Copies of this chain bind each other. A is one copy, B any other.
Amino acid sequence: MLGNFFYCNPTKLYFGEDSLDFLNTELPKYGKNVVLIYGGGSIKNNGIYDSVVKILNANGKNVAEIAGVMPNPTVDKLYEGIEIARKHQADFLLAVGGGSVCDYAKAVSVSVNCSEDPWEKYYIRFEEPDCETLPVGCVLTMVGTGSEMNAGSVITNPHTHRKIGHVFADEKIMPKFAILNPKFTLTLPHDQMVSGIYDIFNHICEQYFSGEDDNVSDYISEGLMRSVIHASRIANQDPQNYEARSNIIWAATWALNTLVSRGKSTDWMVHMLGQSVGAYTNATHGMTLAAVSLPYYRHILPYGVQKFRRFAINVWDVDPAGKTDEQIAHEGLAAMESWMRELGLVMNISDLGATPEMIDGIADGTLIMNGGYKVLDRDEIIKILKESLS
């Protein structure tokens, strides 16, 4: 922990099976015109939509809707939402869904009063908003991205096969509040549950596998990873286990709300590879990460042996006795692979629809980050993507 840094995260979190009631505490703080944002309609089947609308009505809100936000929200959907929010003269955006819906709401928030093309401004030029932004609240129904307590937003441009995330600098872009009710996640299909779990785990890895200094953040990360592994095994066997699901939802929030990256460099190369795969295949985010992770980590292991060794011992309880550092490090990744297979994650990008013909394009769309143990060149990206095919 050697660098200078800033931490501020004012998002209010209401946690637990009664947490939706606190919408009644928060809604009166914001103006009358609310835009309700949600995804494919599952919240209409499980009753969450009705509960939320009832609370909005009881609080006298004038509600417009942006429905059908897709798992990888597109720039066209963003343009559509901006128009709805403008027409409604929105005072407040209420996202009900998972990370995609929260990400999308933040994208609308910074775009409603923006006079430029938001895709160009925020996702190509990575600029910060210089206009008024709208306050966002979240009711979480899917777990993994941590979007409910950060200032990040990922948008996909399917025309150019680009899926790009921007972490905004100002904490005012973070949701004002988030409602985390573990019960809302109990109805998720198994593949979405484990995809979210791997997303959480990989968020921590991306921040952990970087830097040589001694840092509290890495110790917190090890604790979070152990907790995710433990709870995921219980939830995988017994998806209705409320305690396990509650631990998963809370770990998800803290895995990506900036805490465990304070004072550290970070990697994020798995996300860059996975996002580019997602832009070509429209596959579920967590699965794209799972499918490229092990080829990537095995490729960079020789450049960060000590950290992978520490990961093996402190996270996976690998016994170091009588082994070389490299052996210990590889045993850690082997333990991680076993766990990933146990959860039923997709372990290669072919199963997500990627083909050998796409590899060049996916490589072109992969942003190269420079915080990992090895800054990749294009040949290495091609090699990792090819290894990820099977």
Q: Give A residues with C-beta under 8 Å from B.
A: 1-19, 22, 213-216, 219-224, 226-227, 230-231, 234, 242-244, 246-247, 250-251, 254, 259, 262-263
Contact = CB atoms under 8 A, between A and B. Distances in A.
A6 B16 CA distance: 9
A227 B231 contact: no
Given A222-B223, A223-B219, A224-B219, A7 B15 contact: yes
B215 A247 contact: yes
Nearest to A181: B4
The complex is assembled from copies of this chain, and their number is 2
Instruction: Give 8 nearest A-B pairs by CB, closest first.
Output: A4-B16, A223-B223, A10-B10, A219-B227, A219-B223, A8-B12, A7-B13, A1-B246
Given A216-B224, A243-B214, A246-B263, A13 B6 contact: yes
Contacts of A221: 223
Given A216-B224, A250-B262, A251-B216, A15 B11 contact: no
Point out which of A18, A22, A219, A224 has the most chain B C-beta atoms below 10 A from its C-beta. A219
A144 to B, nearest CB: 15
Contact of A15 (B219, B230, B262): B262
Contacts of A243: 1-2, 213-214
Given A7-B13, A219-B226, A221-B223, 14 more contacts: A1-B247, A4-B19, A5-B16, A7-B12, A8-B13, A9-B10, A10-B10, A213-B243, A214-B247, A216-B247, A220-B220, A220-B227, A223-B224, A246-B263
Nearest to A244: B214
A262 B16 CA distance: 11
A7 B220 CA distance: 18
Contacts of A22: 6
Contacts of A244: 214
A262 B220 CA distance: 15
A19 B219 CA distance: 24
A171 to B, nearest CB: 8
Contacts of A3: 16
B263 A250 contact: yes
Nearest to A314: B226
